[in-house]
Amino acid sequence: MSKDVALSWIDENEKRIIEISDKIWELAEVGLLEHETAKLLSKEIEKHGFRVERGVAGMPTAFVATWGSGKPVIGILGELDALPGLSQKPVPYKEPLKEGAPGHGCGHNIHGTSGMAGAIAVKVALEEAGIQGTVKFYGCPAEETLVGKVFMVRDGLFDGVDAVLSHHPGSANTAGIGSSNAMNSVKFHFYGAASHAAGSPEQGRSALDAAELMNVGVNYMREHVIQEARIHYIIEDGGHEPNVVPPYVRTWYYVRAPEREQVEQIYEWVLRIADGADLMARTTHRVEFLTGCYNLLPNKTLSELVVSNMREIGAPKHTEELEFARELNESIPPEQKKESLRKSKRPGWEKMLDELFDERVLDAWNEGMVMAGSTDVSDVSWVTPTMEFSTTCCILGTPGHSWQFTAQTGTSIGHKSLIFASKVIAASALDLLTKPELLKKAREEWKERLGGRVYKPPIPADLKPPLHQLE
């Protein structure tokens, strides 16, 4: 059977798959700067007969690798970016590889590699069986700043794709059917006039005053927006010396809400508050819109398919990792772990307070729930049926975007998650490629969830990816 061929290929190449994931873990490149990571993955899949188009959608690290021809067309996602400041050795106590350097605190070293390995395994199986179809593997940069896939969707790179599979490391083996928050990412550049803050303050126009007044206005606004909304910001550049009235200040805002139209309404209010800050501080400002994304459209048909394959393959068990896990568990306060489990609402969470791992394969339990965070996978889900599933790659209670998460994604805990996910991707993609009734059902559900709505890119047609963002 085609699945057996695909799973055998992953078993036979397990060492190489893990080697690639570990190399990406060591590289730990942040969004839009994942040059070596993209090179490694694209060259590896190219060796296996995929045609690779690099530098797509205006991003040097974005690529699409394609094999096969004709319908159906199944897409597989892979993410590349690490997070700033999360460098960590693969040890159960905090010890950076390099102080202040990036680290894979969201497991994208596993995410990118599982997608690549799954895609190659599908190709091997299709080729051996002589089955027609097309497999596309997407190397997606800058997920953490909600950039990569939004620009790839806008530029038509998912046009004609019949369904998409994606994997993200987590603390459970499941395929969720919840949603996520839509979001806008925007910077405000305030301009004033410098002067001596003591000797001639009357001649100054403080850009920092404007930024702070805007922040105060937004914080008062919070009382009067829907409670599910999330608004957060930083001051990237707040001036230099106290005795100089700051002539320039820059802030960076995220505006989130469960539906795209809610984000747009709140965002318009934020823009007006920025105008009001100028009136009070006698400054001017410029709005730099970076990116935006939609809320996720879940797909129960794809969820059931993925969970079925998880059970057929069998989730990994953790044995040699237990000593490491116990020591790492000491760094997570019990009350924090309890709250993490409570928030997840996973079945039987109350009985898992003393457990290290959740090794079960769980049916999706989160229909109707909205994740507070955002993901650019959402934009893909608005143009084709999409499923991003999770596999256990960390102990229960591990905070996302933490040194603890980074540590585990570079150990055998992460390796087991990686190999399991690669197999689930391959098996599920083969089902979609060979069972037209299944693909039809997934697409009918997708159309029903769209409810006649049409995806309109949240970014302007002429907006270029913010390649300067981390300069």
The yes-or-no verdict on residue 471 having pLDDT over 90 is no
The residue count of the chain comes to 471
> What contacts 212, CB < 8 A, 6 or more positions away?
none
The confidence band for 356, taking pLDDT boundaries of 50, 70 and 90, is very high
Do 285 and 321 belong to one domain?
Answer: no
Q: How does DSSP assign 275-303, residue by residue? A: HHHHHHHT-EEEEEEEEEEPPP---HHHH
pLDDT score of 1: 65
Q: What is the pLDDT of residues 93-120, one digit of tens each?
A: 999 999 999 999 999 999 999 999 999 9
For helices 260-281 and 207-221, the axis angle rounded to 10 degrees is 140
> In this predicted structure, what is the pLDDT of residue 174?
98
Q: What CATH number corresponds to the domain at position 379?
A: 3.40.630.10
Last residue in a domain, options 256, 275, 293? 293
Inside any domain, residue 395? yes
Do 403 and 434 lie in one domain? The reply is yes
Angle at 428 between CA 425 and CA 434, to 5 degrees: 135
459 in a structural domain? no
Q: Is residue 467 one of the residues assigned to a domain?
A: no
Q: Render the burial of 221-256: b for 16+ CB within 10 Å, e for the rest.
A: beeebeeebbbebeeebebeeeeebbbbbbbbbbbb
Q: Are 234 and 84 in contact (CB under 8 A)?
A: no
Task: Enter the DSSP assignment of 32.
Answer: T
DSSP code per residue over 345-386: T-TTGGGGTT-S----B-----TT-EESS--THHHHHTTS-E
User: Which token pair is 245?
Assistant: 């009235």
The predicted-structure confidence for 31-40, as pLDDT tens digits, reads as follows 999 999 999 9
CA of residue 250 relative to chain centroid, distance:
25
Which residue is associated with the tokens 């001017």?
Answer: 284
Per-residue pLDDT of 125-176, as tens digits, reads 999 999 999 999 999 999 999 999 999 999 999 999 999 999 999 999 999 9
Domain edge (last residue) among 233, 259, 293: 293
The DSSP line for 68-133 is: EESS-EEEEEEE--BBTT----SSSS---SSTT--B-TT-HHHHHHHHHHHHHHHHHHHHHHT--E
Same domain, 27 and 154: yes
Asked if residue 468 belongs to a domain, the reply is no
Contact 56, 64 (CB under 8 A): yes
- Tell me the percentage of the chain whose pLDDT exceeds 70: 99
CATH code, domain with 219: 3.30.70.360
The reply to whether 235 and 361 lie within a common domain is no
In this predicted structure, the answer to whether residue 362 has a pLDDT above a threshold of 90 is: yes
Both tokens of 88, joined, read 């960590």
User: Under 8 Å CB-to-CB from 244, ≥6 apart: which residues?
Assistant: 194, 195, 196, 197
* Residue at 461 is within a domain: no
Rounded to two decimals, the pTM is 0.95
d(CA 141, CA 42): 13
470 has a pLDDT exceeding 80: no
What gap in Å lies between CA 78 and CA 114, rounded to an integer? Answer: 7
The answer to whether residues 239 and 153 belong to one domain is: no
Query: DSSP 3-state assignment of 387?
Result: strand
User: Are 202 and 172 in a shared domain?
Assistant: no
Q: Are 107 and 7 within one domain?
A: yes
Same domain for 205 and 175: no
User: What's the mean pLDDT when you consider all of the chain?
Assistant: 97
Residue 50 amino acid letter: F
Are 211 and 264 part of one and the same domain? yes
Upstream peptide bond of 201 is cis (omega within 30 degrees of 0) = no
User: How many structural domains comprise the chain?
Assistant: 2
| pLDDT tier, 293 (very low <50, low <70, confident <90, very high otherwise) | very high
pLDDT at 351 over 60: yes
The answer, yes or no, to whether residue 453 has pLDDT greater than 50, is: yes
pLDDT-based confidence at residue 469 (cuts at 50, 70, 90): low
> What are the φ and ψ backbone dihedral angles of 245, each rounded to 5 degrees?
-60, 120
Predicted confidence (pLDDT) at residue 346 exceeds the cutoff of 50:
yes
pLDDT of residue 2: 86
pLDDT in tens, 223-257: 999 999 999 999 999 999 999 999 999 999 999 99
d(CA 217, CA 255): 14
In a domain, 464, yes or no: no
User: Is 469 within a domain?
Assistant: no
Does residue 265 sit in the same domain as residue 167? no
Domain that holds residue 93: 2-180+295-450
CB-count burial class (<10 Å; 0-12, 13-18, 19+) for 437 = exposed
Cβ atoms within 10 Å of 177's Cβ, excluding its own: 22
Does one domain contain both 308 and 439?
yes
Same domain flag for 135 and 153: yes
Quick one: average pLDDT of 404-413? 98
The residue behind tokens 């934009």 is 379
Asked if residue 468 has pLDDT above 90, the reply is no
* Domain stops at, among 254, 274, 293: 293
Nearest to 423 by CA among 139, 119, 123: 119
Whether residue 465 is contained in a domain is answered as: no
